[in-house]
């Protein structure tokens, strides 16, 4: 995704709303490898990522949120009924 596309999307949100965001640029990943990716390899990785669903990322966010809610004694999806 190009930065200008991300900015366009972010402008649709209320500026006071809190959101979870993750991003990586090629320079962020260069320290991960002995031989950093080339520009062509990076562009291919970005294209492949954009073509995938966000299910795994959504699952990760949901798992983190559920853990936080459990730690703070909040109940997820509680509808007020006692099912015991």
Segment 6-26, tens digit of pLDDT? 899 999 999 999 988 878 888
In a domain, 81, yes or no: no
In a domain, 21, yes or no: yes
In whole angstroms, give the CA distance from residue 69 to residue 39: 41
In a domain, 24, yes or no: yes
Residue 3 has pLDDT above 60, yes or no: yes
Residue 76 has pLDDT above 60, yes or no: no
The residue segments making up the domain with residue 58 are 3-71
Contact 45, 37 (CB under 8 A): yes
- Other CB atoms closer than 10 Å to residue 42's CB: what's the count? 17
Of the chain, the percentage scoring pLDDT greater than 90 comes to 18
In a domain, 30, yes or no: yes
Taken in order 67, 73, 74, 79, the sign of the CA dihedral is positive
In a domain, 79, yes or no: no
Query: How many separate domains does the chain show?
Result: 1
Report the predicted TM-score, pTM, of the whole model to 2 decimal places: 0.55
Segment 25-44, tens digit of pLDDT? 889 888 888 888 899 998 88
In whole angstroms, give the CA distance from residue 20 to residue 70: 19
- Region of 35 (left: φ > 0; alpha: ψ -120 to 50; beta: rest) is beta
- Other CB atoms closer than 10 Å to residue 36's CB: what's the count? 13
């Amino acid at each position: 995704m190009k930065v200008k596309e991300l900015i366009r999307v972010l402008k649709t949100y209320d500026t006071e709303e809190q959101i979870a965001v993750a991003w990586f640029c090629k320079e962020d990943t260069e320290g991960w490898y002995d031989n950093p990716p080339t520009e062509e390899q990076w562009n291919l990785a970005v294209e492949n990522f954009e073509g995938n669903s966000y299910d795994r990322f959504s699952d990760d966010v949901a798992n983190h949120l559920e853990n936080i809610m459990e730690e703070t004694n909040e109940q997820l999806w509680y509808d007020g009924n006692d099912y015991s």
